Amino acid sequence: MAVPKQKVSKARRDKRRNSHWKLETPTIVACPKCGAYHLPHRVCKACGTYDGREVIKLAAEAK
């Protein structure tokens, strides 16, 4: 049976694990219609369009 010969110190253990939990910045894209930034594959909150078609009617545009 494999048994460690010596205790692995907390510093050595944490050095090995340091890159596993890093957060990535979310990707943002510009809306082709209005130019506002939003997450990809989501409806634009500024103009309410997705994939070139209007999905949400916004109150500001209705007035």
What was the pLDDT predicted at 9? 97
The residue with tokens 């990707």 is 27
DSSP code per residue over 14-55 = HHHHTTSSPPPPPP-EE-TTT--EE-TTS--TTT-EETTEE-
The answer to whether residue 44 sits within a structural domain is yes
The answer to whether residue 35 sits within a structural domain is yes
The answer to whether residue 49 sits within a structural domain is yes
The reported pTM is 0.54
At 31, list the tokens: 């809306």
Taking 60 as the threshold, does the pLDDT of residue 61 lie above it? no
The answer to whether residue 22 sits within a structural domain is no
User: In angstroms, what is the C-alpha Rg of the chain?
Assistant: 24
Taking 80 as the threshold, does the pLDDT of residue 58 lie above it? no
Domain total in the chain: 1
Residues near 9 by Cβ (< 8 Å), separated by ≥ 6?
A: none
Of residues 58 and 45, more confidence is placed in 45
pLDDT tens track for 18-56: 887 778 888 999 999 999 999 999 999 999 999 888 888
The whole domain housing 33 covers: 27-63
The answer to whether residue 11 sits within a structural domain is no
